[in-house]
Amino acid sequence: MHAERHIQPAVTEFTRYGPEGARLTIERIGVNPTAFFVSGIHGDEHEVIGPLRRQLDIKIMEDPRHFASHVRALEAHPAALQDKVRAARGVDLNRQFVFKETPDDPQAKLLADSLLEHEGIHTVFSFHEDPLERRFYLYNLMTRNDEGVMDADIEKLRTNLLSRVAAMDIPLYNGIDDIDLGYWVDHGFCAVASDAIHDNSFEMWSVQKELHRHPNMERAFLFEIPGALPVGQKEELIRVILDEFVGPYMSLKNRD
């Protein structure tokens, strides 16, 4: 008789509170997390949260070597999510990470602290939605000592992922993403070195090692899920991202 044994990783969930109603729930999966998954930074990007949670839970069972040790902050701005608006009380959470070690905004500080206290984390995987967009794109944000050089492994992962996305009949974004920042997305991809610009976003702040001196942070990948897609297609896209990009990337890091 053949029997399969599945060992469930330890899960710790805790909620922290700050001034002005700030609140953040963190889930720590496993004992030595090396990846940080974040979503819900903007309240009008809420449809990605449930699918991302479900697909991460599936990947823990299917691929525990690469997914059974991570931290989640999937509802990063609860007040904005409650009202399903980009900002709450006039605060856009992803513009509060100014060029300093600790953000002043209470909600931003909770999110920053949740990364800083986990010193084994080397990569942030951030999931956003572009509410009216049907095209997909992603960012690769690199630490200063990366010097903006694209390595062959990331190039391969990028190529594989975007090929799968195109095969799903999801077009790739091409052009300027944010007119204020001037980020140019080239056929679904944009690489930004951390010393190129500081946009006060959590993702850019996370790779600014000269600010917070986190011992292991190296990269942040930001995936813009097309908000105009049906929820089921969004979940299928998230599954492809985890299969074709996140899992293989974590495999490369484990190899190192």
4 in a structural domain: no
Which residues have C-beta within 8 Å of that of residue 15, sequence separation ≥ 6? 23, 24, 25, 26
Measured from the Cβ of residue 240, the count of other Cβ atoms closer than 10 Å reads 19
**Sign of the torsion formed by the C-alpha atoms of 98, 117, 239 and 11:** negative
Residue 136 lies in a domain: yes
Predicted confidence (pLDDT) at residue 146 exceeds the cutoff of 60? no
Sequence-ordered list of residues with C-beta below 8 angstroms from that of 198, at least 6 positions apart, any chain? 98, 99, 204, 205, 208
Long-range contact set of residues 3-11: C-beta below 8 Å, sequence gap at least 24: 6/61, 7/64, 9/60, 9/64, 9/68, 9/69
Residue 3 lies in a domain: no
The pLDDT tens digits of the residues spanning 147-165 come to 556 688 999 999 999 999 9
Q: What is the pTM of this model?
A: 0.94
**Residue span of the structural domain in which 59 resides:** 11-255
The total domain count for the chain is 1
Residue 2 lies inside a defined structural domain of this protein: no
Asked whether residue 1 is domain-assigned, the answer is: no
In-domain check, residue 5: no
- Residue 173, domain CATH: 3.40.630.10
Q: Could you tell me if residue 215 is inside a domain?
A: yes
Tokens representing residue 117 in the block: 């206290």
Q: What is the pLDDT of residues 207-216, one digit of tens each?
A: 988 888 899 9
Please tell me the predicted confidence (pLDDT) of residue 6.
46
How confident is the model over 64-113, as pLDDT tens digits?
999 999 999 999 999 999 999 999 999 999 999 988 889 999 999 999 99
User: Is residue 132 included in any domain, yes or no?
Assistant: yes
